[in-house]
Amino acid sequence: MGKILKEKEIIAIGGGKGGVGKSFLASNLGIILAKNQIKTVLVDADLGGANLHTCLGIQAPEVTLSDFVNNTNVRIEDVVLRTSLDNLMLISGAQDFLGIANPKYSQKLRLVRAIENLNVRYIILDLGAGTSNNTLDFFLLADRGVLMVLPEPTSIENAYRFIKSALYRKLRMLTREPQVRAVIEKAMDKKNDLGIQSPIDLIDHISNLNPRLGLQLEEALNSFRPAIVLNQVRSMADVRIGFSMQSACKKFFGLQVDYLGYIENDDQVWQSIRKRQPITLNGDHGKSVRNLRSISYNLLHNLQLKME
Ligand SMILES: Nc1ncnc2c1ncn2[C@@H]1O[C@H](COP(=O)(O)OP(=O)(O)O)[C@@H](O)[C@H]1O
Ligand SMILES: [Mg+2]
């Protein structure tokens, strides 16, 4: 089945925890696309922990996202920065996060719509840690949501929590009916007294209250297709975690999750960050560079890792 090519695509990179490599993936993905002559803008949407500029080896910029969010006279073009690559642009994150750490939904929408009007093919959003509504909203506004996961129980657990929270938020945003919203909120807690154990139970429950809405929620569930990337893997067993996460998401959430690939644990990664020289910029050929290329390829071609 051919994929309908959108003129522009927004890719959001999230993950339940800090320090899992979101900014590392976002920056290098941007560089790989730009080096392939694909116009890309990187957006530091980590409101409160912005450091994407550092991953790109750029000094803390004067104009940032907060100028755009806080002032409706500022155009998005005014906060777009050039990088050392022709096809790569950066919108840096807010430094003074207090002002915008909690933008309203309408502000987020204005931001996303403005970014979509930029003359680029790909928009990569580097998200903050955690499952705040902000992070979830950006993840849901994107065409593709990618979750960075480490092969550690805590990170895996966080990833499941993130996927579940994003899904329930997506469902909740579909309706204004207080009664239905209350059911969805209750369902978030596994010990709820409605006996709802999974998104599928939830949809059944809501279909009984309101069949039309039930159908809408079912459609939303089927169209929610997050992707995962395993980072800092050290063994084949680590790589296989991605496949087991796929099966678990299918079984417990009724969700199709794409496994885009993995990145090996590689000393070159932290060394490159210390030197402020992105690993894919200078012709390094290490294992993590190969891994990043194959993830980019899968992302661009709508492919995923296959079990050997
Ligand atoms: N594949 C890897 N191998 C080795 N170290 C890594 C790898 N990926 C990330 N790191 C380390 O993890 C740190 C945190 O990455 P970062 O992208 O800043 O995380 P996040 O944006 O999720 O908070 C990096 O500075 C780097 O030292
Ligand atoms: Mg980061």
CATH number reported for the structural domain that contains residue 66 in this entry: 3.40.50.300
Provide the domain limits for residue 160. Answer: 9-301
Question: What pLDDT does 2 receive?
Answer: 44
Protein residue whose Cα sits closest to atom 11 of ligand 1? 270
Q: Are 22 and 127 in contact (CB under 8 A)?
A: yes
Least confident of 101-105, 185-189, 297-301: 101-105
Q: Roughly how many angstroms between the first and final C-alpha of the chain, as a whole number?
A: 23
Residue 215 CA to ligand 2 centre (angstroms): 37
- pLDDT tens digits, 2-56: 455 678 999 999 987 889 999 999 999 999 999 999 999 999 998 778 889 999 9
In a domain, 185, yes or no: yes
On whether the CB atoms of residues 136 and 165 are closer than 8 A, the answer is yes
Mean pLDDT (the chain) is 91
Rounded to the nearest 5 degrees, what angle is found at the Cα of 270, between the Cα atoms of 20 and 81?
Answer: 80
Query: In the predicted model, is pLDDT for residue 98 greater than 60?
Result: no
Indicate which atom in ligand 1 lies nearest the CA of residue 26: 17
93 C-alpha to center of ligand 1: Å?
A: 18
Give the pLDDT score at 96: 61
pLDDT tens across 141-186, in order? 999 999 999 999 999 999 999 999 999 999 999 999 898 999 999 9
Contact assessment for residue 44 and residue 111, using Cβ atoms and an 8 Å cutoff: no
Asked if the structure places residue 3 within a domain, the reply is no
Which atom of ligand 1 is found nearest the CA of 18? 23
Which strand ranges, in their side-by-side order, compose the sheet holding 9-14?
80-82, 88-91, 40-45, 122-127, 9-14, 144-149, 227-233, 258-264
pLDDT for 61 beyond 90: no
Which of 20, 22, 24 maximizes ligand 1 atoms within 8 Å of its Cβ, making it the mutation to test the pocket?
A: 24
pLDDT at residue 1, rounded to an integer: 40
Number of structural domains (the chain) is 1
Q: Would you say residue 228 lies in a domain? A: yes
